[in-house]
Amino acid sequence: MDQQRLDQVMDALRTVEDPELHKDLVTLNMARDIEIDGGNVSLTVVLTTPACPLRDEIDRRVRVGLQQLDWVESVHINMTAEVRQGPMMGEAAPIPGIKNAVAVASGKGGVGKTTTTVNLGVALARQGASVGILDADVYGPNIPIMLGADGAPMTMAGKIAPIEAHGIKLMSLGFMLEEGAPVIWRGPMIGGAIGQLLNDVDWGELDYLLIDMPPGTGDASLSLAQLVPVAGTLIVSTPQAVALQDVLRSISMWEKLGVPVLGLVENMSYFVNPADGSRLEIFGHGGAREAAEKVGIEFLGEISLDQAIRIGGDSGTPVATDESNPQAAAYAEIAGRMAAAISIKNEERAEPLPML
């Protein structure tokens, strides 16, 4: 390979900035396997998540940067992804194989937090990420129903094997309870249960473990922050003022626990009347965006009040599995923004990467 031309390509790539991480591709070690054949340049761009929402923009920037070289005739880019391990923060021990643990929380119940968790997990998996979901909402472990998963988890070599559904590894207290049985536990028992579900399960290699938290600001959140390094928290709310007051309390709690808030999702944001296509804002609209702006966190997107979402949850086939449904696209967009927010937080806290 012509060393002079390789040096020129590297210099050109140093001018190409990742639009979210705001560093150049060489510094981020995202440009790899560069080959030059005459005027033809090929390379692999390693994204920080397969759900990258700005994939096309990065592709465009690379082409523009390389085509500034007068000898370049064509550019071939292979896009792949490598989710990076979140930095180890605090005294909590990491769970082997899990790169990023993400809490999905809400200030109060009834806002669709679990539905959001399930559909975001499916969206990430369909975009190529390895995903697990831990149902830590011990008082209402509904994720097995929403993912159509049943059966009793098996134990192998002292570890519990998670149930798999829709490309997601899943563990829930719901697998171990009789139907309709209540969970009457005090705080320490909740922490113990979450610890077992985290550490006694053979999760394998996961890019993201989504943890569906109980609503509110109780013992489970404190236990989680002490048990595992959490990459960040996604908070779900509906638009009305009473829900948003609880959101602000939830954000404050996670910040005090030293867990970054990745962003806010507005669920049940509006309803489209199937009779005439008119839009009805049943619970108001835009309150979550205003709350996000008020406290300086990212607004990740809005999900409408849609019958297909409810049907998907009840049937065990989440709406995010149906690419023809507009709601699947909405969840995919939010999943991409959440994954990007994780990459940004990880980069802010990371040690410099070694050059390969």
CATH of the domain at 154: 3.40.50.300
- Quick one: tokens of 117? 């968790």
Return the percent helix, strand and coil in the chain, to nearest 5: 35, 20, 40
**DSSP 8-state symbol, 152:** P
Range of the domain at 56: 3-81
Residue 151 inside a domain? The answer is: yes
Residue 356: the pLDDT is 46
Q: How far apart are CA 286 and CA 266, in angstroms?
A: 8
Strands of the 131-135 sheet, one edge to the other: 163-165, 168-172, 131-135, 208-212, 101-105, 230-237, 261-266, 299-302
pLDDT beneath 50: ranges in the chain: 353, 355-356
Are 192 and 134 contained in the same domain?
Answer: yes
Domain harbouring 49, CATH code: 3.30.300.130
| 261 and 345 co-located in one domain | yes
Assigned domain for 119 exists: yes
- The model's pLDDT over 129-156, given as tens digits with 9 standing for 90+, comes to 999 999 988 777 889 999 999 878 888 8
Structure tokens at 154: 């098996």
87 falls within a domain? no
Q: Are residues 143 and 247 in the same domain?
A: yes
Is 258 in the same domain as 306?
yes
Question: Is there a contact between 267 and 303 (Cβ–Cβ < 8 Å)?
Answer: yes
In a domain, 135, yes or no: yes
What was the pLDDT predicted at 203? Answer: 94
Query: Over the stretch 242-286, which tens digit does the pLDDT of each residue have?
Result: 777 888 888 888 888 888 999 999 999 988 888 888 888 888 888
> Is the pTM for the entire model greater than 0.85?
yes
Is 47 in the same domain as 129? no
Largest CA distance in the chain: 71
The pLDDT, as a whole number, for residue 317 is: 96
34 and 134 share a domain? no
29 and 130, same domain (yes or no)? no
User: What is the number of domains present in the chain?
Assistant: 2
